[in-house]
């Protein structure tokens, strides 16, 4: 069965739209998100455009703040401090990747954790690890929501995560291994967690054998067809986070998007599987909107 992230994200946007119009009906202002984009990475431009469009659809105000890739780290930090102190902004993100000359962790650490709707500050990551209320990064939040809405239980299951990034691999592993006392505001009632999690990465030995013991596999490696049919057991749940552009002259854009999974051959063995596009990507975007509404409600700037 296909895990239809595109449809679930549309359902959640409709729910968010109702919640925002309720706020407006009460005479409150709309929530507001700001997105900082540095440089002209075509993929980043698409993702940011999708984020702004989704905000507009649900009635969240959105502002894009674009800089040339020559921006200095100091100018970027000054802008972050301005957003931290601007009471009209409920949350903001810095779209990654940043140019080489900018220290990513210095930039992320400068964000006020109460406005960190990407959940990437050390404060929010630490709070998530300790099971305290926090803003959880968008992609892991979206994956968890997708599993919840399809009633896919994780308790006692062996989850294999391929990839150890701060933005996906580490936080999704942490969320799924936890006791499910951490329930996010605005999330489905069914809480997920209590899984046995194995995190794999580029130095992992015998990835194939580890994957064959998995009930659920989450792949976030950025490598087309990394997960093949011989690596999965019958009935596996597969979450494909990868977004790769492969050249394809038969398409108008000259490329098509593929994930990290050999979808055609893995899908027949899977009980559930996400497509690319239309799986985790749209869930990432809608989770950012949920985080923005959460920040708006928790803070009274």
Q: Which residues are catalytic?
A: 51, 95, 118
Which residue do the tokens 């854009």 mark? Answer: 253
| Residue choice 16, 120, 172, 226 for contact with ligand NAD (CB under 6 A) | 226
Which residue do the tokens 């497509």 mark? Answer: 275
Token pair for 275: 């497509």
Contact present, 195 and 157 (Cβ < 8 Å): yes
User: Does 281 participate in binding ligand NAD (rule CB under 6 A)?
Assistant: yes
Query: In Å, how far from its chain's centre is CA 119?
Result: 10
| Residue choice 222, 229, 267, 278 for contact with ligand NAD (CB under 6 A) | 222
Nearer to ligand L34, 193 or 259 (CB): 259
Cis before 5 (ω within 30): no
User: Does 89 participate in binding ligand NAD (rule CB under 6 A)?
Assistant: no
User: Does 221 participate in binding ligand NAD (rule CB under 6 A)?
Assistant: yes
Measure the CA–CA gap between 92 and 196, rounded to whole angstroms: 33
Binding at 112: pick from ligand L34, ligand NAD, none (beta carbon under 5-8 Å per type): none
Measure the CA–CA gap between 135 and 124, rounded to whole angstroms: 6
User: Does 227 participate in binding ligand NAD (rule CB under 6 A)?
Assistant: no
**Contact positions toward ligand L34, by CB under 6 A?**
46-47, 50, 93-96, 118, 138-139, 243, 257, 276-278, 281-282, 284-285
Residues in contact with ligand NAD, shown as a per-residue x/- string from 28 to 57 under the rule CB under 6 A: ------------------------------
Interface residues for ligand NAD in 162-181 (CB under 6 A)?
162-165, 167-169
| Residue choice 93, 243, 261, 288 for contact with ligand NAD (CB under 6 A) | 243
Nearer to ligand L34, 138 or 198 (CB): 138
The nearest distance, CB 276 to ligand L34, in angstroms, is: 6
Binding range to ligand NAD, per CB under 6 A, among 34-42, 114-122, 160-168, 245-253 = 160-168
Cα torsion angle, 174, 225, 42, 30, sign: negative
Strand 244-247 versus strand 255-258 pairing type: antiparallel
Length of the chain: 301
The nearest distance, CB 76 to ligand L34, in angstroms, is: 13
Residues in contact with ligand NAD, shown as a per-residue x/- string from 129 to 158 under the rule CB under 6 A: ----------x-------------------
Measure the CA–CA gap between 48 and 42, rounded to whole angstroms: 10
Token pair for 75: 């100018």
Binding at 207: pick from ligand L34, ligand NAD, none (beta carbon under 5-8 Å per type): ligand NAD
Measure the CA–CA gap between 263 and 184, rounded to whole angstroms: 31
Contact present, 283 and 291 (Cβ < 8 Å): no
Measure the CA–CA gap between 167 and 155, rounded to whole angstroms: 23
137 closest CA partner among 284, 299, 301, 297: 284
Q: By the criterion CB under 6 A, which residues form the site for ligand NAD? A: 139, 162-165, 167-169, 200-202, 204, 207, 220-223, 226, 241-244, 280-281, 284
């Amino acid at each position: 069965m296909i895990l239809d992230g595109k449809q679930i994200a549309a359902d959640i946007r409709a729910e968010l739209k109702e919640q925002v119009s309720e706020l407006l009906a009460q005479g409150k202002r709309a929530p507001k998100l700001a997105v900082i984009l540095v440089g002209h990475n075509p993929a980043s431009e698409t993702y940011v455009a999708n984020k702004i469009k989704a905000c507009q659809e649900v009635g969240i105000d959105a502002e894009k703040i674009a800089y040339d890739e020559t921006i200095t780290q100091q100018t970027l930090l000054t802008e972050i401090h301005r957003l931290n102190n601007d009471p009209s902004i409920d949350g903001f993100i810095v779209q990654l990747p940043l140019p080489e000359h900018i220290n990513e962790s210095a930039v992320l650490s400068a964000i006020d954790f109460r406005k960190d709707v990407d959940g990437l500050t050390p404060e929010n990551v630490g709070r998530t690890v300790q099971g305290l209320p926090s803003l959880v990064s968008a992609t892991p939040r979206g994956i968890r929501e997708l599993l919840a809405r399809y009633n896919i239980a994780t308790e006692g299951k062996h989850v294999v995560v391929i990839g150890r990034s701060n933005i996906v691999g580490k936080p999704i592993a942490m969320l799924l291994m936890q006791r499910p006392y951490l329930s996010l505001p605005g999330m489905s009632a069914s809480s997920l967690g209590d899984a046995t999690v194995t995190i794999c990465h580029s130095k992992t030995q015998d990835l194939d054998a580890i994957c064959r013991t998995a009930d659920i596999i989450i792949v976030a490696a950025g490598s087309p067809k990394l997960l093949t049919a011989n690596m999965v057991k019958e009935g596996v749940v597969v979450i494909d986070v990868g977004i790769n552009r492969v050249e394809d002259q038969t398409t108008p854009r000259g490329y098509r998007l593929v994930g990290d999974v050999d979808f055609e051959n893995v899908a027949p063995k899977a009980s559930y599987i996400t497509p690319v596009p239309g799986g985790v990507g749209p869930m990432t975007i809608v989770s950012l909107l949920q985080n923005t509404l959460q920040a708006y409600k928790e803070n009274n700037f």
